[in-house]
Amino acid sequence: MAIYLNTFLPDGNAAEPSELVSEGLTKSEGAHFSPYQLVTAAAIRSAFRLRVPFTHKGTYGHALIVAGAINTMGAAILSNAACMYGGVGLSTACIPDTGLAALNTAFPEVMFLSRADFHVQQEFDQYKAIAVGPGLGKSDDALGIVKQLLDLKRSLVIDADGLQLLAGSEELMQLVPEGSILTPHVKEFDRLFGEHSSWKARLDTGLKEAKRFKIIIVLKNEFTFIIDPQGQVLINPTGNPAMAQGGMGDVLTGLITAYVAQGYDARDAAMLACYFHGLAGDELAESMFNVNALQLAAQVPKSIKKMISVKS
């Protein structure tokens, strides 16, 4: 049975021209090629790498997440927690010193880098993935942090306040390194790329901008769109309204960062994170009316274990 793009758009309706969505991922082109591709469980199992004997924490990468301000430490804790639940070997939180007690109490597994040390940090190469933005704020110091990371000229995961600081600055956008992953919700997307009258228009813009900057754009919604610079839009089918609570984006950022740190390419990291993020929410929603972000993060490794144990 044919699948149409309208199905996945909040403002989709039968009166719009219908575009076909391919079920499963394909790189083939031709008369029937569609840039819109529905992520399947088979595609996830194919991309996901199992753990093997004699691996250790160094095998699974070291992530740095630069997040949080005095009044928004929750975002930093959630993103780092999700990074750990996503299977990273080591996660370091660069947060204000005032948040260290909260971090150590909530997640003692997460390492700490002070903001003062960050500004003189010379060994960023130890981190296999770097994310910036959750709860960072929009102060001059936050802007300086974003500029310092952009100056590294290596791919980043950019979310939340990191996106807000990029918005409206073509100069900063031009500095975003190739291969970076931007994770806007609809309002952040419009701040970055201009107001849009429809979701289809946003997808058209996303395809153009992903190609222009050579980045991955993760446009978040109930059905999240993963837009790559090769002109493909992967549609994530997992997720549900029970997840409509604050902090879910912070968790998604942590998961994406975890998969980048583990050596997945940017598109696969975004695809796996979105799928497992939604899958965990779907499984929790079977017994819960609403789901909070920390509950979801803790569910992720359980959902992965259940999925990979099923014979395809």
pLDDT band at 312 (very low <50, low <70, confident <90, very high): low
The pLDDT of residue 32 is 60
The pLDDT of residue 158 is 98
The pLDDT of residue 30 is 54
Give how many domains the chain has, as a whole number. 1
Q: Is the per-residue pLDDT at 28 higher than 60?
A: no
Q: How far is CA 189 from CA 44, 150, 166, in A?
A: 26, 19, 11
* Domain interval for residue 74: 19-309
Residue 288 falls inside a structural domain: yes
Q: Is 169 left (phi over 0), alpha (psi -120 to 50) or beta?
A: beta
User: For the purposes of burial, counting CB atoms within 10 Å of the CB of 207, is it exposed (0-12), middle (13-18) or buried (19 or more)?
Assistant: buried
Residue 144 falls inside a structural domain: yes
pLDDT band at 230 (very low <50, low <70, confident <90, very high): very high
The pLDDT of residue 27 is 64
Residue 147 falls inside a structural domain: yes
Chain length of the chain: 312
Characterize 225-263 residue by residue with b for buried, 16 or more Cβ atoms within 10 angstroms of its Cβ, and e for exposed: bbbbbeebbbbbbbbeebbeeebbbbbbbbbbbbbbbbe
Residue 13 falls inside a structural domain: no
pLDDT per residue over 299-308, tens digit each?
A: 999 999 999 9
Residue 3 falls inside a structural domain: no
pLDDT band at 109 (very low <50, low <70, confident <90, very high): very high
DSSP class of residue 20?
B
Contact 162, 133 (CB under 8 A): yes
The share of the chain scoring above pLDDT 70, in percent, equals 96
pLDDT per residue over 63-107, tens digit each?
A: 999 999 999 999 999 999 999 999 999 999 999 999 999 999 999
CATH number at residue 220: 3.40.1190.20
- What lies within 8 Å, CB to CB, of 176 at 6+ separation is 150, 156, 158, 166, 182, 213, 215
What residues does 29 pair with on adjacent strands?
A: none
The pTM score is 0.96
The pLDDT of residue 40 is 96
Residue 275 falls inside a structural domain: yes
Residue 51 falls inside a structural domain: yes
The pLDDT of residue 17 is 62
Residue 233 falls inside a structural domain: yes
